[in-house]
Amino acid sequence: MIAPVRWGGAWAGLLLAAITPAAAAPWVPPAGHGVVKPMLRLFDAQTGFSPSGWSSDPIAGPTERETQLRVTGEAGLGHGFALEYDLRYGFLSKIRRKGKRDLASFAHGPRDQEIGLAHRLVATRQMAAAWVVNVVIPTGSAATTPALGTGRWAIEPDLDLGRRWDGGRVGVSAQVGPRIFLDGYAEQLRATLTLDAALGRRFRLSGEAFFSRTARNRRPLPTAASGEAYDVLRLGGALSYRLRPGVAPFLGYERYVAGQGIHAGERFVMGVELSY
């Protein structure tokens, strides 16, 4: 089991700072309104989780680092629909030890991109629900070392649920659904839980837990499809400041606290949320 001190650090990250402030969904914005969040993400991992089974105890592994430019957003289209997108460009490095030497490899370029459509099911001031269907576009090269993407098309049909209290000062939202790879080798079962609360008139604190587990076919994944395996529990949070209406810079932190066959790293995030 993960040490109590490590758990304490992970939950401190959840409560004090990480990913991004809560998105508009499941409150789908009306036509002509939306939100854009450009950000810089800095990832560092010097250990990993065992590939033989789910674990919360990191083991020695290659060092992986990434500087990533990311833009997420949601644009209202009217009639209960909104366009969603998640665009990424990364600069990756991987260092592994061989004997007494460090062997480094580097890659940079577009990551896999996501674009999708959200549709409002229910929306009041206190609660909302929406269907969201995203398409994962394999623009990230899977041939580089380290890889920039899975090299596989996928779809994500999700159900978004949200609840607000105290005039919107406190909220909780959940997103649940699979990522289904169109080559038929695997799918991931994914869930995200987000809590957020206003701190005074200008600050807002959010915490997020993300879980992904890979469901495989009876036969093992071929090497070319190994990127479809994504088994992780990640905790994080973010602190945003409303500089003026429609402009809210934010700082974030996230940590991989358990998983299988994946790096055990942490990520710092800085960006700005622009609402219109």
CATH number at residue 54: 2.40.160.40
What tens digit of pLDDT does each residue of 210-231 get? 999 998 776 788 888 888 999 9
- Looking at residue 24, its pLDDT comes to 64
**Count of CB atoms within 10 A of residue 133's CB?**
14
pLDDT: which is higher, 28 or 21? 28
Report the alpha-carbon distance of residue 274 to residue 75 in Å, rounded: 12
What tens digit of pLDDT does each residue of 28-70 get? 999 999 999 999 999 999 999 999 999 999 999 889 999 999 9
99: CB partners within 8 A, 6+ apart = none
- Domain hosting 65: range is 4-275
pLDDT category of residue 206 using cuts at 50, 70 and 90: very high
Strand-pair category, 247-260 with 34-48: unpaired
Retrieve residue 23's tokens: 């998105």
Q: Phi/psi of residue 221, each to 5°? A: -70, 135
**Count of CB atoms within 10 A of residue 102's CB?**
11
What tens digit of pLDDT does each residue of 171-203 get? 999 999 999 999 989 999 999 999 999 999 999
Report the alpha-carbon distance of residue 213 to residue 130 in Å, rounded: 23
**Count of CB atoms within 10 A of residue 246's CB?**
11
Judged against a pLDDT cut of 80, whether residue 8 lies above it is answered with no
Total domain count for the chain? Answer: 1
7-11, 162-166, 242-246: lowest mean pLDDT where? 7-11
What tens digit of pLDDT does each residue of 95-113 get? 987 777 888 999 999 999 9
**Count of CB atoms within 10 A of residue 136's CB?**
23
Judged against a pLDDT cut of 70, whether residue 151 lies above it is answered with yes
Q: Per DSSP, what are the bridge partners of residue 224? A: none
pTM of the prediction? Answer: 0.88
Report the alpha-carbon distance of residue 19 to residue 207 in Å, rounded: 8
226: CB partners within 8 A, 6+ apart = none
258: CB partners within 8 A, 6+ apart = 2, 49, 54, 55, 56, 232, 233
Q: Phi/psi of residue 227, each to 5°? A: -65, -10
Report the alpha-carbon distance of residue 252 to residue 244 in Å, rounded: 20
pLDDT-above-70 percentage for the chain: 90
Contact status, residue 16 vs residue 235, Cβ threshold 8 Å: no
31: CB partners within 8 A, 6+ apart = 76, 77, 78, 79
Q: Phi/psi of residue 167, each to 5°? A: 65, 25
SS3 content of the chain, % helix, strand, coil (to 5): 10, 65, 30
Amino acid identity of residue 130, one-letter, is: A
The chain-wide mean pLDDT, for the chain, equals 90
Report the alpha-carbon distance of residue 193 to residue 223 in Å, rounded: 32
Report the alpha-carbon distance of residue 65 to residue 92 in Å, rounded: 6
